[in-house]
Amino acid sequence: MTRQAKPRRRTELGLIVLVVLLTLGAYILASLGRTASLPAHVGPFLAIILGLLLVAHLALRLWAPDADSILLPIAGLLNGLGYVFIARLDHRLAGLQATWTALGIAAFTVTLLVFRQARDLERYRYTLAFVGVGLLLLPLTPGLGRNINGARLWIRFGGITFQPGEMAKLALAVFFASYLVDKRELLARPTWRLGPFFLPDPKHLGPIVVAWGASLVVLFSENDLGTSFLFFSLFIVMLWVATGRGAYLAVGGFLFVAGAGLAYKTFAHARSRIVVWINPWAHAQTTGYQVIQGLFALGSGGVAGTGLGLGSPTRIPEVATDFIFAAIGEELGLLGTAAIILAFVLLVGTGLRIAIRAEREFDKLLATGLTFTLGLQAFIIMAGVTRLTPLTGITLPFISYGGSSLVANYILLALLLRVSAGSREARPQ
Amino acid sequence: MNPQIRRVGLALLVLFLALFVQLNYLQVVDAHKLANDPRNSRVATRDFAKPRGDIVSSDGKVLAHSVSSNDLYKRLRTYPTGPLFAQVVGYFSYTYGSDGVEKQYDGQLTGRSAPLQLPNLRNLLVQQDRSETVTLTLSTKIQFVAAAALGTRRGAVVALVPSTGAILAMWSYPSFDPGALTGHDFKAVKKAWDANQADPTRPMLARAFRDRFFPGSTFKLIDTAAVYDHQPDLATKPYPVLGALPLPNTNGLSLANFGGEKCGGVLPELLRISCNTGFAQVGLDLGAANLSAEATAFGFDQRPPLDLPGPAISNFPPAAAFARDLPGLAKSAIGQQDVAASPLEMALVAAGLANGGVIMRPHVLQDVRDAEGKVVNTYQPQPWLTATSPATANQVKALMIQVVQAGTGTAAQISGVQVAGKTGTAQTGNNTVHTWFVALAPADAPKVAVAVLVEDQPASNDFTGGQVAAPIAKQVLQAALSG
């Protein structure tokens, strides 16, 4: 293999330059809109975003030269736009988000460096299963866990809060992929019957059901409905993709309805989310306040938005994390929100194309699982903010403020790129 | 696995499409409704950021002015005269709404009530500033004299033109800084507001027109008018010289004169020296029906049509309340018991007597001007009440001249100007007195009527209406007459 610039990396570099220019423009406009003055430190800002993306680009050139060319620029664009909004909403968080972005890029680079082939991950499948469940348990540890807004999803050490669920998501996706690939033949062959459903030998289903069940119990006890739903869906979808048996989807659908019904009956937290979803206006000053403020922001933005820095999205509680999509909707309008949706469609499309073109089954299933969590997570929070579904607090990947989310998603991106670099079409002819 | 992966892609695509449809609903179909929902605080911000005209005094001083600010709210409301006009001009606060002229004339200040100009090319290209300037009848000169004369004593001063009802000065102490409530640092605004609310002296209470006090002996003007209107023969009836008047149906309770003095005589003499025993008996002689009707005719028991939010209703009990309470009628005749009057009301009583018995509608608006300075609306004076006949008014006025020339109100004399007035020293029940002076001048063709109230003065012979309030009224009259 000759050391020459690959066409994909050239495309990527061009796109990165475009993304940096877009982000810089948005950053300047937001400052002009808010204070009618140019932002301080434009130079350092430019150097940092360009530098960070170039580091990731160089890592790809070195360790995955044949990887896909548009994933990194799209992630960079979402990350950059998210940063512009965070800086505009809460200056204190902006510095932290910049640090977390740097850590995310570092994690991205290390992932590419350590895992030269996606199958390297398979070796750690049970370790990852334990790590995943263990991470989820951490917030329940006395002295370590922190309650924020009624949910116990954070741990705190050395002044930094961290949401381990984000990392657990990756660990469990890898575990599910490697386990399911091993047992897919067995799991596709039903041996016993439960009501209308034919199910495989419980012996083969055991470990995965335990890992999944444990994570759901933990998340429920932490009041984290969004992540519970994400894990649940991830598991069902991966099971179905691996086996091709529609019965899993049917059982999953049934379990979801039953679980949701149980949650509605037993958890006040879950019930209030559904009540607010049905009619937020009846609770405008209490539980419905946040959703309504989000709707006001979206409506006030209209088609073209108020312009960067010219709206007043700070009226929305938690606007830098869960509700950042509403802030984008207010200041960039439908054009901005549609662009964000399009970016996620591109990410998902690219991720699944990587899965389809991957040769090894593990690679396929891993890429599908990773892409699905990314896409579904983005959908869950955007749909919650727009009242398409009940709201469950979860970060909007790459855009929301949140260190653990950013680092985890950059690792996810590195894994997808690693899979794409090993695929048939990427190999030198 | 590939068919399943494709279907996963399709499913996610459907979800994102649903999201896009929902966004179209929120940001296109329903956008206008959401953007203008009254619960959407952006609506208030937008209104708050609109151009807002100045508020100007009659002598051309700017009392309220908007300067541009580099933030969301675009404009910052400032009050160059600080507390001096706070209780009239009010405030325009994002957090606490508005009050005073800022509230009353909001439509004019924002231009919402301005007639739509014929559109010309320039108007099509630039957003037209339709905000209007509101000019008040109040003069900074007279307001300042009133504030300086009252000093740091709690109380109020109201001065107005009897023939038009135009208010020249309306001050009460303590006052507050409206600028502190209109800033965009909402924490500081809340702090200022909370401090004002917690202050036991209640600086945000416009005592001049929103609070009520025992009018004390100033109410004897209404007794006197009632005599001429209802029972003129009482004007010549001699009342015995007494130190205390035994009260009917009380088994020996009596009503004493101020400082234990003995007094009596005919009506002009009773008013000149403010004889309590005499006027208590006059009240009993007139009867509850006549006295209550006269008080109502002078503006008690109804809201003064002042063009400011929330003027207080002064109180005189209905005649039926005295059916079994003759002692109460005697006390009410000297402005005690349940009688309560705002300083504005007592100024209106003087203004009615000065204006041949007709009380004009009190007002602070002089005119409204458009952005180019052209007057678009001028306040047209209108009568409010016909309190009494011109003859009665002139007779009472003649007696008030004696009060200032040779009675309790000599401290209000102005050389070269004949002043007519009446003192008041009302017991508060807390071993203090509210001291009053109401006056009009010049007596032959009155140009100004005033009411002065100084609250909670020590109950002693050195702190009467004639000694405390009359000198303040004199200064305010001088300032109003010289201008």
pLDDT confidence of residue B62? 96
Q: How confident is the model at residue A376 (pLDDT cuts 50, 70, 90)?
A: very high
Residue in chain A closest to B32 (alpha carbons) equals: A299
Measured between alpha carbons, how far is residue B279 from residues A5, B237, B272, B297, B326 in Å?
Answer: 111, 12, 12, 19, 14
Q: How confident is the model at residue B118 (pLDDT cuts 50, 70, 90)?
A: very low
Which of B2, B35, B45 shows the shortest C-beta gap to A356?
B2
Q: Is the pLDDT of residue A1 over 50?
A: no
CB–CB of B35 and A364 under 8 A? no
Mean pLDDT confidence for B353-379: 94
Q: How confident is the model at residue B119 (pLDDT cuts 50, 70, 90)?
A: very low
Contact in structure between A212 and A224 (CB atoms under 8 Å) = no
Give the position of tokens 């499948």.
A125
pLDDT confidence of residue B379? 96
Which of A242, A341, A368 shows the shortest C-beta gap to B19?
A341
**Closest alpha carbon to A396 in A336, A339, A344:** A344
Q: Render pLDDT for B319-339 as a digit per residue (tens, 0 to 9).
A: 999 988 999 999 999 999 999
Q: Is the pLDDT of residue B123 over 50?
A: no
The ipTM (two decimal places) reads 0.93
Judged by CB atoms within 8 Å, which residues 368-407 of A form the interface with B? 368, 372, 375-376, 379, 382-383, 386-388
Mutate to test the interface with A, among B37, B41, B42 (most CBs of A within 10 A): B42
pLDDT confidence of residue B417? 95
Mean pLDDT confidence for A92-114: 93
pLDDT confidence of residue B211? 96
Q: Is the pLDDT of residue A150 over 80?
A: no
Which of helix, strand or coil describes residue B191? helix
CB–CB of A345 and B31 under 8 A? no
pLDDT confidence of residue A429? 43
Q: Which amino acid type is present at position B341?
A: A
The alpha-carbon gap from B151 to the nearest alpha carbon of chain A, in Å, equals: 44
DSSP state of B325: -
Measured between beta carbons, the chain A residues lying within 8 angstroms of B27 are: 298-299, 301-303, 329, 333-334, 337
pLDDT confidence of residue B8? 95
For residues A106 and A95, give the distance between their C-alpha atoms in angstroms, rounded to a whole number. Answer: 17
- Cα torsion A311, A314, A316, A321 to 10°: value is 110
CB–CB of B34 and A300 under 8 A? yes
Q: Render pLDDT for B16-46 as a digit per residue (tens, 0 to 9).
A: 999 999 999 999 999 999 988 878 888 777 7
Q: Which pairing describes strands B55-56 and B133-136: parallel, antiparallel, or unpaired?
A: parallel
Least confident stretch, A241-255, A400-414, B138-152, B204-218: A241-255
A341 to chain B, any CB pair closer than 8 A? The answer is yes
Establish, for the pair of chains A and B, how many residue pairs have beta carbons separated by less than 8 Å: 128
Angle at A393 between CA A392 and CA A399, to 5 degrees: 125
Positive or negative, the CA dihedral A7, A9, A13, A14 is positive
Give the position of tokens 């508020």.
B55
The alpha-carbon gap from A21 to the nearest alpha carbon of chain B, in Å, equals: 27
* Catalytic residue annotation of B: 217
Q: How confident is the model at residue A2 (pLDDT cuts 50, 70, 90)?
A: very low
Q: Which residues pair with A154 in a beta bridge?
A: A146
- Cα torsion A113, A115, A117, A119 to 10°: value is 180
Judged by CB atoms within 8 Å, which residues 40-79 of A form the interface with B? none
For residues A159 and A176, give the distance between their C-alpha atoms in angstroms, rounded to a whole number. Answer: 33
Q: Render pLDDT for A267-297 as a digit per residue (tens, 0 to 9).
A: 888 888 899 999 999 888 888 899 999 999 9
Q: Which range has the top average pLDDT, A26-40, A46-60, A194-208, A302-316?
A: A46-60
Which of B5, B22, B39 shows the shortest C-beta gap to A241?
B5
Share of chain A above pLDDT 70, in %: 90
Q: Render pLDDT for B204-215 as a digit per residue (tens, 0 to 9).
A: 999 999 999 999
Q: How confident is the model at residue A211 (pLDDT cuts 50, 70, 90)?
A: low
Q: Render pLDDT for B62-97 as a digit per residue (tens, 0 to 9).
A: 999 998 887 777 788 999 999 999 999 999 988 888
Least confident stretch, A215-219, A242-246, B253-257: A215-219
Q: Render pLDDT for B414-461 as a digit per residue (tens, 0 to 9).
A: 999 999 999 999 998 888 999 999 999 999 999 999 999 999 999 888
CA atoms within 13 A on the CB side of B391: 6
Query: Helices (H), strands (E): how many in chain A?
Result: 14, 5
CB–CB of A383 and B15 under 8 A? yes
Q: Spell out the residues 6+ positions from residue B405 whose beta carbon is closer than 8 angstroms to its own.
A: B413
A364 to chain B, any CB pair closer than 8 A? The answer is yes
pLDDT confidence of residue A168? 87
Q: Spell out the residues 6+ positions from residue B368 whose beta carbon is closer than 8 angstroms to its own.
A: B105, B108, B132, B133, B134, B135, B375, B376, B377, B378
The alpha-carbon gap from A115 to the nearest alpha carbon of chain B, in Å, equals: 24
Contact in structure between B310 and B303 (CB atoms under 8 Å) = no
**Closest alpha carbon to B320 in B293, B298, B359, B300:** B293
Q: How confident is the model at residue B358 (pLDDT cuts 50, 70, 90)?
A: very high
Q: Which amino acid type is present at position B284?
A: L
pLDDT confidence of residue A426? 55
Q: Render pLDDT for A382-404 as a digit per residue (tens, 0 to 9).
A: 999 999 999 988 899 999 998 89
A300 to chain B, any CB pair closer than 8 A? The answer is yes
pLDDT confidence of residue A263? 81
Which of B1, B28, B70 shows the shortest C-beta gap to A35?
B70
Mean pLDDT confidence for A3-20: 86
**Closest alpha carbon to B137 in B107, B158, B113, B111:** B158
CB B51: neighbour CB atoms within 10 A?
A: 18
pLDDT confidence of residue A197? 65
pLDDT confidence of residue A164? 82
Contact in structure between A178 and A142 (CB atoms under 8 Å) = no
pLDDT confidence of residue A161? 67
For residues B337 and B320, give the distance between their C-alpha atoms in angstroms, rounded to a whole number. Answer: 15
Measured between beta carbons, the chain A residues lying within 8 angstroms of B75 are: none
Which of A36, A355, A388 shows the shortest C-beta gap to B18?
A388
The alpha-carbon gap from B194 to the nearest alpha carbon of chain A, in Å, equals: 23
Supply the mean pLDDT for chain A. 86
CB–CB of B22 and A388 under 8 A? yes
For residues A152 and A147, give the distance between their C-alpha atoms in angstroms, rounded to a whole number. Answer: 4
Residue A256 CA from chain centroid, whole number? 21
Give the position of tokens 């116990």.
A152
**Closest alpha carbon to B364 in B209, B480, B479, B474:** B209
pLDDT confidence of residue A156? 65
